[in-house]
Amino acid sequence: MVLRRSKSPLEETLVDLAPPGTGEVRVRVEACGVCRTDLHVIDGELPDPKLPLIPGHEIVGTVADLGPGSSRFRRGDRIGIPWLGWTCGECAYCRTGRENLCDRGRFVGYTLDGGYAQETTIDERYAYSAPSGYGSVETAPLLCAGLIGFRSLRMAGTGTRLGFYGFGAAAHIAVQVARFRGQEVYAFTRPGDTKGQEFARGLGATWAGGSDEAPPVPLDAALIFAPVGPLVPAALRATTKGGIVVCAGIHMSDIPSFPYEILWEERTVRSVANMTRKDGEEFFDIAAKARIRTVTTAFPLARANEAVAAVREGSLEGAAVLVPE
């Protein structure tokens, strides 16, 4: 399913896939999650995507072919492919353990073709062995929603009371990690979304309400998964002294001006950018220990536009996942 122009529907297209190059593997896709980042790419909110482009970066599949020099995996291995697809290894960021900020980084489903397809190709160094105990559809959301949620939790510090603004694919995984670590989660959904609030409580949230409500207790940190700038001052008002507000998305609408008094007392606002390979290794270890489960709705690959629309509308619980036919 190919994006030819921003803000246009995806087109079902037959594409010739080149043989894998040096250090690459060709993967037969079994499932690919639909991430909100895909929407930002398709809707033209992220600049300069590769066009035409095959979106998708929550990919699970089996290795079908090996390029020259590829030795990390064998044919038939089940692997996962995330957003980060290549880094230079030479810049100041890469050399200091911050490859997620690489100036020349390439990203699957954005500057590299992704997994809205029957097959794809990836540099083997940026793929993971798929975690055991999960089917391919269940695994797919772990590869971005799970990873970004996990990195966001790390950025939020060690406080006990966490607020989650937006309870979609990332939050429904992160709440399970937080509960495993003994933290309380206070979930904020769209005002009036009682179904979403019930979903959050069912996954362990201590409290759930609308984003226009104040939590019943001050928060140590707040994680904003919804791409809605006005949630930043709302989250600051909900945090206690020294509180941390983490903006977890790659794109957000403009943050409105707000009075300094809600930032004062050493509150912090920070963002999360991409992920590192180390994040993935640590997250998959915790996911197994915490027995993280994902809630998914599967769509045939040919119905990718329908899946994207469902994510845009927020009409699904958990994550949408595409399955090639």
Range of the domain at 172: 147-271
What is the total count of domains within the chain?
Answer: 2
Residue 15 included in any domain: no
User: What is the spatial order of strands in the sheet that 268-271 belongs to?
Assistant: 207-210, 184-189, 161-165, 219-224, 239-247, 268-271
Give Cα 123 to chain centroid, integer Å: 20
Q: Measured over all CA atoms, what is the biggest interatomic distance in the chain, rounded to whole angstroms?
A: 59
Residues 311 and 251 in one domain: no
Interior angle at CA 215, CA 213 and CA 217, nearest 5? 155
Unique residue bearing structure tokens 């100041």: 92
Q: Block means of pLDDT (10 residues each) for the chain, length 325 residues?
A: 97 94 98 97 96 98 98 97 98 97 98 98 97 93 97 96 97 97 97 96 97 98 97 98 97 98 98 96 94 96 98 93 95
* pLDDT at site 52: 97
Q: What is the CATH number of the domain that holds 124?
A: 3.90.180.10
Assess if residue 98 is contained within a domain: yes
The verdict on 126 and 35 lying in the same domain is yes
Q: Which amino acid is at 248?
A: A
What pLDDT is stored for residue 112 in this prediction?
Answer: 98
Contact between 145 and 167 under an 8 Å Cβ cutoff? The reply is no
